[in-house]
Amino acid sequence: MDEKTVTGWWQTALVRIRPGEIALRGYPIEQLIGSASFPQTIWLLLRGELPTPDEAALLEAALVAAVDHGPQAPSIAAARMAATCGVGLNNAVATGVNLLGDVHGGAGQQAMGMYTDIADCDLPLADAVAEYRRWHRYLPGFGHRFHPRDPRRDPLVGLVEDAVAKGVITDRYLKVAMEIERQLDPVPMNIDGATALIYASLGFPAELGRGLFVLSRSVGILAHAWEEQQSGVRIKGPIPRPLLADYTGPALRDL
């Protein structure tokens, strides 16, 4: 086997590694350290170029907004339970992250797909939303099982409106989101709909939108796993002792 076949096995445009050298998308790491923020570096690796300061600020706002939603969130609860079972912090975090799927953690990606489908429709916007509603029972990114009005919605949408006014992004997806909210009134947009609006407006594909949510929520999962690990309590189950889950099976019977 020739050398080029071997070195090309894991070829990548993301990072150049040589003895004494690390370069991300061509930028030496020593120049990025202290100059590029974490959101800028995320953008660089995913998109190939550095974002403008305004783009980076909008991305950062979405990442900050979704970091945590309390220990009742399944991904965080699972990480906390794992931490009490003596596993390492990496295992506890992985336990929580692995719960983020289509149902818990997938609404943002789904909302991005919905925004794109509606924006690409040939019908007038109001008709396009109405037609989408006719064929879809569930509209991801709107309504919340806990918050009458998600407190993260207004600041995020406000930042999107500001970015549109400054010419940082277009209003393509903002118009769609606002029309959906108008037709669903009084059901407002939630965190998934608002962050989906930002990620779509910034040009991220829907699947990367989910990846960015996972990256964001990993911060909260890590913090909760660490907090629970410091408590010293061992083997915490889903409900406090001595309570036991209700049993709904057959009555006790002899074999």
Q: What is the 3-state secondary structure (H, E, C) of 51-103?
A: CCHHHHHHHHHHHHHCCCCCCCCHHHHHHHHHHCCCCCHHHHHHHHHCCCCCC
**How many domains does the chain divide into?**
2
Residues 177 and 211: their CA atoms lie apart, in Å, by 21
253 assigned to some structural domain: no
Residue 173: per-residue pLDDT: 98
Do 77 and 35 fall within a single domain? no
Q: For tokens 């991220």, what's the residue?
A: 204
Residues 58 and 56: their CA atoms lie apart, in Å, by 5
22 assigned to some structural domain: yes
Do 119 and 204 fall within a single domain? yes
Residue 177: per-residue pLDDT: 98
Residue 92: per-residue pLDDT: 98
Evaluate whether 189 touches 153 at the Cβ level (below 8 Å): yes
pLDDT tens readout for residues 135-187: 999 999 999 999 999 999 999 999 999 999 999 999 999 999 999 999 999 99
Do 116 and 189 fall within a single domain? yes
- For 89, the domain range is 52-238
Residues 225 and 222: their CA atoms lie apart, in Å, by 5
Evaluate whether 11 touches 22 at the Cβ level (below 8 Å): no
Residue 165: per-residue pLDDT: 98
Do 149 and 129 fall within a single domain? yes
Do 17 and 117 fall within a single domain? no
Do 154 and 45 fall within a single domain? no
- Mean pLDDT calculated for residue range 84-102: 98
Do 182 and 107 fall within a single domain? yes
In the chain, the percentage of residues whose pLDDT exceeds 90 is 99
DSSP 8-state code for residue 73: S
171 assigned to some structural domain: yes
Confidence of residue 26 (pLDDT cuts 50, 70, 90): very high
pLDDT tens readout for residues 113-133: 999 999 999 999 999 999 999
Confidence of residue 246 (pLDDT cuts 50, 70, 90): very high
pLDDT surpasses 90 at 212: yes
Residue 1: per-residue pLDDT: 86
Do 103 and 214 fall within a single domain? yes
Residue 7: per-residue pLDDT: 94
Q: Which two tokens stand for residue 118?
A: 């509606």
- Mean pLDDT calculated for residue range 68-74: 96
Do 97 and 197 fall within a single domain? yes
Do 153 and 225 fall within a single domain? yes
Confidence of residue 223 (pLDDT cuts 50, 70, 90): very high
- Mean pLDDT calculated for residue range 60-71: 97
244 assigned to some structural domain: no
